[in-house]
Amino acid sequence: MNAPHIPVMLDEVLDYLTPAASRPDALAVDATLGAGGHTEALLTAHPGLTVIGIDRDPTALELAGKRLADFGERFIPARAVYDAIPEVLADNGFETADAILFDLGVSSMQLDRPERGFAYAQDAPLDMRMNPDDELTAEIIVNTYAPGDLVRILREYGEEKFATRVVSAIVHAREKDRITSSRALADLVRDAIPAAARRTGGNPAKRTFQALRIEVNTELDTWRNALPAALDVLAPAGRVVVMSYHSLEDRITKQELTRRASSTTPAGLPVDLPGHGPTFRILTRKAQQATQTELDRNPRSAPARLRAAERIAPSTGAGGES
């Protein structure tokens, strides 16, 4: 990593998390540490803050650790997947966090390292593992999954309209020789998609690569478990910010935050029953997107969708712990 990567929607992240992160002796969790840009900004902005930075990628932890070394014990690295936030907190002597940040998807650091196999624009082994110790790789999926499973993955995770055509090309090619490189796969996908559809929407392989990455790292299943677990350990008046880059991730986020912000009191009663009121309030009326200024500076922020919420403090009289 020759230069620090630009954190996505940094101003918005700081604005939403500041009321919680600026408390005396506050604790924040950067659940997707990556190159450490968001954590660096939080630690700089709030001198009394401690941040636990979680990442499953040991390379990310090493590089971020160097970047954040000057903050000393205020930065605590933890190698884990972000659905293990409660365990990571407990391991470090904490029960709750004041602020939690999720910046989902693949990090710029991983995209920019060809050997990781995430980028369709560079030739590399078909890997795509965020945790290099995991067994499943994109190469295994492409070469061994049944055609029906591949079609489902491309349609569901990549929203690929031409999934059947792409999979047919993959199956035909792998019958001749194993597909082992990102360039070979990207070429197969490009040739399988009709020419008219290739003229717009960027590289035609991006949807297939996204789908394979999500399957390799079980991202959606992990996210379905991670967000509720994180919300459960957020302190009263604590805040959470989620940036997602895929419609399915954003849908899961919206549904869970809406559920927590809704009353479960039976309809018709004049007041919420004890323990049935909303436990969160949503801070973003709809998902926020990057400004044009940010897009000009950091094009990778284009697909980002940001949602934020705050845990309702018991003193407001709204509900109990979730």
User: Where do the H-state alpha helices sit in the chain?
Assistant: 10-21, 37-45, 58-67, 85-91, 108-111, 138-144, 147-158, 163-176, 182-192, 195-198, 206-216, 219-232, 247-260, 292-297
Residue 46 in marked binding region:
no
Asked if residue 246 belongs to a known ligand binding site, the reply is: no
How far is 111 from 136, CA to CA, in rounded Å? 18
* CB 55, CB 29: distance < 8 Å: no
Is 275 labelled as part of a ligand binding site?
A: no
Contact 1, 37 (CB under 8 A): no
The reply to whether 37 sits in an annotated binding site is yes
Residue 187 marked ligand-binding: no
145 labelled ligand-binding: no
**What are the φ and ψ backbone dihedral angles of 229, each rounded to 5 degrees?**
-65, -40
Give the separation between CA 81 and CA 65, rounded to whole angstroms.
17
Q: Using an 8 Å Cβ cutoff, are 217 and 129 in contact?
A: yes
Beta-carbon contacts of residue 321 (< 8 Å; ≥ 6 apart)? 279
Question: Which two structure tokens, joined as six digits, stand for 258?
Answer: 């809406």
Closest CA to 284 of 221, 241, 222, 315: 241
Is 245 one of the annotated binding-site residues? no
Known binding-site residues for S-adenosyl-L-methionine equal 36-38, 55, 82, 103, 110
Known binding-site residues equal 36-38, 55, 82, 103, 110
